[in-house]
Chains A and B, each alone.
Chain A
Amino acid sequence: MLVKRAKAALNIETPTPSARPVTLSFEYAPSLESADIVKLKPRYGLYIDGKMVEPSSGRYFPTVNPATEAVLTEIAEATEKDVDRAVQAARKAYEKVWSKLSGRERGRYLFRIARIIQERAREFAVLETLDNGKPIRESRDIDIPLVAAHFFYHAGWADKLQDAFPGREISSLGVVGQVIPWNFPLLMAAWKIAPALACGNTVVLKPAETTPLTALLLTEVFEEAGLPPGVVNIVTGAGATGAALVSHPDVDKVAFTGSTEVGKEILEATAKTNKKLTLELGGKSAHIVFEDAALDQAVEGVVNGIYFNQGHVCCAGSRLLLEESIAETFIEKLKKRIDKIRVGNPLDKNTDIGAINSKREFEKIQRLVALGKEEGGEFYEPAGTVLPAKGYFHKPCFFANVSSSFTLSRIEIFGPVLTISTFRTPQEAIMKANDTSYGLAAGIWSEKGSKIQKVASALKAGVIWANTYNKFDPSAPFGGYFESGFGREGGRHGLLPYLEEK
């Protein structure tokens, strides 16, 4: 059967005496992760004071599987009134329970949460993939393990805060309002909730309107872990809900991850208040490959830098800077490599790039790719990649010969679109890398350690990877400069925004 099919596909002469065809095309049959483990309710309320409650407006909105465009379930829309209820619940929990617990006791809850997430990892991974569109390989191997790691890590800090800041008197802040994006829905929830709770605060969290499901499933984990009611509250909704939360007068601290545009609005809204604020915003990160780099591994790093999570990564290495002497070879290798990237059903274990999270983002990427073609970049996308007929799918692609003055070099695309320019000297590479209004991350590829050190110290970016990219760990602080925001998350640095120093 197989041999016959291959014969038809490739009629290649064989030098061996045997009559068998010698070459086969090797298509990977679909290998689907079962979605049965996820039990969706027909609609979801708001999680306030340890209970699922109806929204005061009575309004619900749908959340869609971007790979099929099918509605998954309905989500409550929280109004200002609901947000107020949630903040009050958080305040009460803070004053009556959470602030009175010792660090060790808070740590016990966090350890419990981390363990339950590990136990239910597959359920979380499948749900994340359904709601977000990211490939199951990534939700299973990256997102969910990192979520558990963040809770474990901060559980460890809960009773050692004084050791983290020796000689300084520290205390919790109170009620924290947190607004998170749709690109790593549960991971961003973990980044926000874990340090807040470890430091003794209570939380009102608003997940993104297109990806609220894993945060809502997380409430079951809180129940199972016996977390006292009101310590974490989850209000769902769109921009208006977020605005109500960040401007609520009884919120002591606001933490936001999302677009630079919304970040600026939040900065304005909180400017005249006493609220502490951290912003983790967009990026247009440079990925520099020097002539003396390990090229085959650098190609992998570049692919991982821009095509990981459909390119929906704030620190994506979206501007590739190649030393001119290797540019041609590198681009040739990159083309061959992205021809092999598998785009398709996110639940297929062999999928490398899943679905773009929403129609809006999908159309934005298409618009920017069209603009890039107009601007004159040399466009490449794999000709052989076939996209599913339904769902928001985009091929991995890049523009070569892009100038720093092109729109595509300046604005964040947030999709699987890479721009490539060249440089001649390390000085020029540094200049080009820093020629941006953002400053979130950067990558450097060279086998020469001294060169890496020198270039890294000249780059203005919060995270700099050398000979790798997009590596995350709870112990490594993450955050940006300029329009990429301020404040750090993760590590000891990430505790400070959730503490008051006296």
Chain B
Amino acid sequence: MRSITVRGPEGRLLPILVPPVDEVGAQERADFFTKRSIKKESKLQALYLAIRMCDLTTLEGADTPGKVLQLCAKAKSPVPPGLFAAFAEKKKLEPIPSVAAVCVYPSMVKVAADVLRGTGIHIASVATAFPSGQAPLSTKLDDTRFAVEQGADEIDMVINRGAFLSGRYQEVFDEIRAVKEACGPAHLKVILETGELGSLDKIRLAAEIAMEAGADFIKTSTGKIQPAATLPVTLVMLQSIADFYRRTGKKIGMKPAGGIRTAKQAIQYLCMVNETLGPEWLTPDLFRFGASALLNDLLKQIFKEATGRYYYEKAFSLD
């Protein structure tokens, strides 16, 4: 088994064990979850759950307060409650829940925070010179503190891939620790940007470093790089979380992000979480989808369950 050593708090040596990953085997196991057939009440249960796990995201250079306000409105109430109630009556469906969080750039945090206060919807902000992370540490920390001050209670940071790929694991580890400290009470999600790491072995290593350094969540991707979240990558990260939990008793959350566009895909992820970590991870506190297009497909499928047919797509607002 591969192992690296980093210096942890108070200069203590901290060994990080990294079990090898067989790519073929991981792919095969991941494919297995595409064969699960989730129907009827289980499907409905999964669809509702997936909505509550969404981090509704907008991360564009073109983001404006107007755009963010639109997103927040959708986050609170993905469909107008009155409209849904009319459809849901016959099947006695629960109202459509709010999503878990909105995810925006630091400059947009205040806009979101002002309208989401008291709703229970978290405000996540990408920080640390997202998406490339190519900035000095001081800038990254300022970026983080600014986002928290503005009202973010979740920070999605990117790891220093340059340092990671050149083997400077200590630097990666230290940066995550520093950002964690800068987060204060805010939860820290560490983005590995798996599409840039090259192999499942490296992804496993990055996941271990992130968890040891204090990540509350590990996250696959920024959404700016292809491939983004995939089932095998998520599986390996979930297995890292399982091993970390076995070792430390700490439950780390998981967030696949980018590329999950359909309810069908989301359900495959939920089955994977259910059968890898167990149902205790099936909560927005420990599992999130970083997505934007996914929400409308989830709604479409719920309407289908309610009415027995696919509802006219334009019924759902685009954001």
Which residues in A have some Cβ–Cβ distance to B below 8 Å?
A: 1-3, 6, 12, 14-18, 20, 22-31, 137, 141, 291-298, 300-301, 332, 336, 340, 349-350, 447, 467-468
Contacts and interface: CB of A to CB of B under 8 A. Distances in A.
Interface string B62-96: 00000000000000000000000000000011100
Given A291-B1, A296-B29, 13 more contacts: A2-B44, A6-B45, A23-B280, A28-B36, A28-B271, A31-B38, A296-B25, A297-B29, A300-B25, A300-B29, A349-B36, A349-B37, A467-B25
Name A's interface SS: loop
17 contacts: A2-B41, A2-B94, A3-B48, A17-B118, A17-B120, A18-B98, A23-B279, A25-B279, A26-B49, A26-B282, A29-B38, A141-B35, A292-B1, A292-B20, A296-B26, A296-B239, A297-B26
B19 A2 contact: no
Contacts of B22: 294, 297-298, 447, 467
Contact of A16 (B118, B242, B285): B285
A20 B98 CA distance: 10
Contact of B45 (A12, A26, A295, A336): A26
A294 B94 contact: no
Given A1-B92, A26-B279, A29-B41, A447 B20 contact: yes
B25 A1 contact: no
Contact of A293 (B20, B29, B280): B20
Nearest to A447: B20
A137 to B, nearest CB: 6
Contacts of B48: 2-3
B77 to A, nearest CB: 13
A340 B275 contact: yes
B318 to A, nearest CB: 25
Contacts of A298: 22, 25
Contacts of A141: 35
Contacts of A300: 25, 28-29
Interface in B239-278: 239, 242, 246, 270-271, 274-275
B24 interface: yes
B246 A332 contact: yes
B166 interface: no
Contacts of B12: none
B283 A23 contact: yes
B290 interface: no
Contacts, number: 110
Contact of A24 (B28, B43, B122, B279): B279
A488 B44 CA distance: 50
A302 to B, nearest CB: 11
A20 to B, nearest CB: 6
A1 B94 contact: yes
Nearest to A303: B29
A295 B17 CA distance: 13
A340 B280 CA distance: 14
A17 to B, nearest CB: 4
B225 interface: no
Contacts of A20: 52, 97
A447 B52 CA distance: 40
B223 interface: no
Contacts of B38: 28-29, 31
Nearest to A22: B283
Contact of B285 (A3, A15, A29, A295): A15
A18 B120 contact: yes
Nearest to A9: B279
A12 B283 CA distance: 11
Contacts of A291: 1
B127 interface: no
A297 B35 contact: no
Contacts of A3: 48, 94
Given A16-B120, A23-B283, A29 B25 contact: no
B309 interface: no
Contacts of A28: 36-38, 42, 271
Nearest to B280: A23
Contacts of B106: none
B314 interface: no
A29 B40 contact: yes
B172 interface: no
B37 A23 contact: no
Interface in B267-317: 270-271, 274-275, 279-280, 282-285
B35 A349 contact: yes
A303 to B, nearest CB: 10
A31 B29 CA distance: 21
Given A1-B94, A18-B98, A300-B28, A31 B37 contact: yes
B4 interface: no
B140 to A, nearest CB: 27
Interface string B179-202: 000000000000000000000000
A11 B264 CA distance: 28
Interface string B184-222: 000000000000000000000000000000000000000
B115 interface: no
A486 B48 CA distance: 57
Contacts of A137: 35
Shortest beta-carbon contacts, A-B, top 5:
A297-B25, A18-B120, A294-B22, A31-B37, A22-B283
Contacts of A468: 24-25
Contact of A31 (B39, B97, B246, B274): B39
A26 B270 contact: yes
Contacts of B122: 16
Given A15-B285, A29-B40, A350-B37, A296 B19 contact: yes
B37 to A, nearest CB: 4
B36 A1 contact: no
